[in-house]
Structure 1
Amino acid sequence: MTAVKEDELIEINPCRVVGADQEKPAERPVLTVPQIFALAERIPERFQALILVTTFGCLRWGEAVALQRRDIDLAAGTVRVRQAFVEHRGTGLILGPPKSRAGVRTVAVPKAALPVLKQHMSGHVGEAPGAFVFTGESGRNLWRGNFNKLVKWPEAVAAVGVPGLHFHDLRHTGNTLASRAPGASLRDIMARMGHDSPRAALIYQHANREADQGIADAIDKAAKAARRKPSKRKVKRVAEGDGPAAEAS
């Protein structure tokens, strides 16, 4: 499944395991916003914007590394997804359309991430409209299989408290943050994720409803416990003989 969903080395999973094609977001870690920025700061400066754009834009690896200068609008704070790279061993990187029609989209990037992206565009991206935004030191396109070693990924994710985090989990984090946004509808989440089917977006919404209900239940439990606990004033009055029993005597 890693080669299909995360690395995109092959387009179709040759193995058919019951339930293996279902997205289950709760099983993967979700970064906090401070952890996202901390992770970006832990890797080489050339790739910091890649972390932020991938996460906050809910992009797949192939979509992120296929971005070109013409796709970035710093004034509007948006990223346009038009294409994606797929890695084929023995053939190379194949540039084509996203996985589905819904994959063609424009997403807004939080203002907090724009300074890093702006600096990246001025320092690491060619002036031509077709210049790729995220490349290696030599200017060549990035390969997913080489990225972890290139940026010392295991050390970086361990340093921010999420050892074992996969690059694909950045998109998962972005999807989760999107589904938590106040007023975000199912269609809004689908559009940001680039999904034709509402299934994945519904899973994220359901997971967040469960988490919210858990918070409500915990508050309710604490409230009930507080109501059962007698007040200090009442206990003091009874101890002084100022209660019903004392009046009866």
Structure 2
Amino acid sequence: MADKRRRFGSIRKRESGRYQVRYPGPDGLLRSAPDTFVRKSDAERFLTMIEAQMMRGEWVDPVRTEIRLKDYAERWITQRPNLRPRTVALYRWTLTKHITPYLGGVPLGKLSTALVREWRANLLTDGVSVSGAAKAYRLLRAVLMTAVNEDELLRKNPCRISGADQERAAERPTLTLHEVFALVDEMPDRYRALVLVAAFGCLRWGEVAALQRKDVDLEAGVVRVRQSLVEVRGEPLTVGPPKSRAGRRQVTLPPAIVSAVADHLAAYVVDDPEAFVFTGSTGRLIWRGNFNQLVSWSDAVTKIGRRGLHFHDLRHTGNTLAASTGASLRDLMARMGHDSPAAALIYQHATSQSDRAIADALGAAIDKARPRQDPDDGAAGVGAVVS
């Protein structure tokens, strides 16, 4: 029998003895609570909470939150503006591999922090690396943040697990100048300039692979980064915009590297502004995996004693070398092609650590060089050395 004394909503005791709740939405249509209640007092508290949410403008229509996470996330990826094809492919892979098998069938309204915590724990138990779990968590959090802020399907984001977004990835190695040139010596002549430009120009693979003759100004000693080679598994190579807005930039090369680029252009690139600078022997674009085979990359890095080195570590090396010159944060950001100062700060931090090591070494040398101070001679010490 329905409770007709209530000002908002109604409570009815069913034959099972449990209490059913119904209430009107802002549109006047009746909704039912997702569950029935053992006690009438629990049902009353639920109605009080729903009424308060409506009065504060915080109520979310439960019918709208019945959409499954899998469907909402796929729509989110499709409708996300300005995503690069490679990023779209990565998001879809992560969703299919790490999110959908566990949470794909759960309605948005049923997601909770406890459920997300259990999902992450299952990922790690199933052998997914901390880095992989962090990437999946960040994607899920971004999807649900849209559900909260833009679509207003959720009141709050259930991704609230401290530290779950942190990868703790191992620091990538850098090469010394000697090692860079040793690696170049192991490269076929056709690809030596490519390695030099990537290292000393701080270019990403896609950026250096997409350079055209018109992007190289030998007189000024610069290369202009206007585009990037896009590689998506199972699809043909395409050329698109750089990774970010700041990726469009002009990079000045050291004179010795400019000379190597000039020799490369003369030997391997036709006299056409549209010609790509670095290609295979047939003149076609090269993709990352093919390049590794063409130059026997694994053998080359093993010969110089840096087994496991990745091509991207050349950019890491260049960034570190640039930071060691004392360049400002703004200048480093411009050279690296970063919108955010976070990455540049990493290299500046490494440089400050090196500077501290230098200062400590100088301090040790001073301590060693200065005469022992007699307890009765307060004037002796560093002043006596430097005067």
Fold conserved (TM > 0.5)?
Answer: yes
**Structure 2: gaps of 5 or more residues:** 1-83, 95-131, 135-164, 374-387
Give the Cα–Cα distance (whole angstroms) in 2 for the partners of residues 23 and 138 of structure 1: 38
Secondary structure of the residue aligned to 1:38 is helix
Provide, for residues 46-90 of structure 1, a one-character-per-residue CA deviation record: whole Å limited to 9, x for no partner: 000000011111000000000000000111110000000111112
- Cα distance, 1:223 vs. partner? 2.9
Match in the other structure for 1:189: 332
- Cα distance, 1:150 vs. partner? 1.1
Instruction: After TM superposition, list the pairs within 5 Å mapping 1:3-82 onto structure 2.
Output: 10-11=86-87, 12=90, 14=94, 15-17=132-134, 18-20=165-167, 27-82=171-226
- Cα distance, 1:222 vs. partner? 3.9
Letter in 2 for 1:160: I
Letter in 1 for 2:337: G
Provide, for residues 157-176 of structure 1, a one-character-per-residue CA deviation record: whole Å limited to 9, x for no partner: 12223222110000000101
Aligned in 2, Cα 1:23/1:58: closer, same or farther, shift over 3 Å?
farther
Tell me, yes or no, if the aligned pair for 1:23 and 1:200 is still in contact at 8 Å: no
Instruction: After TM superposition, list the pairs within 5 Å mapping 1:213-232 onto structure 2.
Output: 213-227=356-370
Determine what percentage of the aligned residue pairs are the same residue.
55
Give the Cα–Cα distance (whole angstroms) in 2 for the partners of residues 131 and 156 of structure 1: 28
Structure 1 outlier segments of 4+, above 6 Å:
none
Match in the other structure for 2:355: 212
Residue 276 of structure 2 is aligned to residue 132 of structure 1: yes
**Structure 1: gaps of 5 or more residues:** 1-7, 231-249
Give the Cα–Cα distance (whole angstroms) in 1 for the partners of residues 277 and 248 of structure 2: 17
Provide, for residues 218-249 of structure 1, a one-character-per-residue CA deviation record: whole Å limited to 9, x for no partner: 3323432444769xxxxxxxxxxxxxxxxxxx
Residue 369 of structure 2 is aligned to residue 198 of structure 1: no
- Cα distance, 1:23 vs. partner? 7.9
Give the Cα–Cα distance (whole angstroms) in 2 for the partners of residues 136 and 174 of structure 1: 24
Give me the CA root mean square deviation: 2.2
Secondary structure of the residue aligned to 2:345 is helix
* Higher relative contact order (CA closer than 8 Å, sequence separation 6+): 1
- TM-score for the superposition, normalised by structure 1: 0.82
- Based on CA coordinates, which of the two structures has the bigger radius of gyration? 2
Match of 1:116 among 260, 272, 280: 260
Match of 1:157 among 301, 304, 310: 301
Match of 2:310 among 142, 166, 188: 166
Give the Cα–Cα distance (whole angstroms) in 2 for the partners of residues 23 and 74 of structure 1: 38
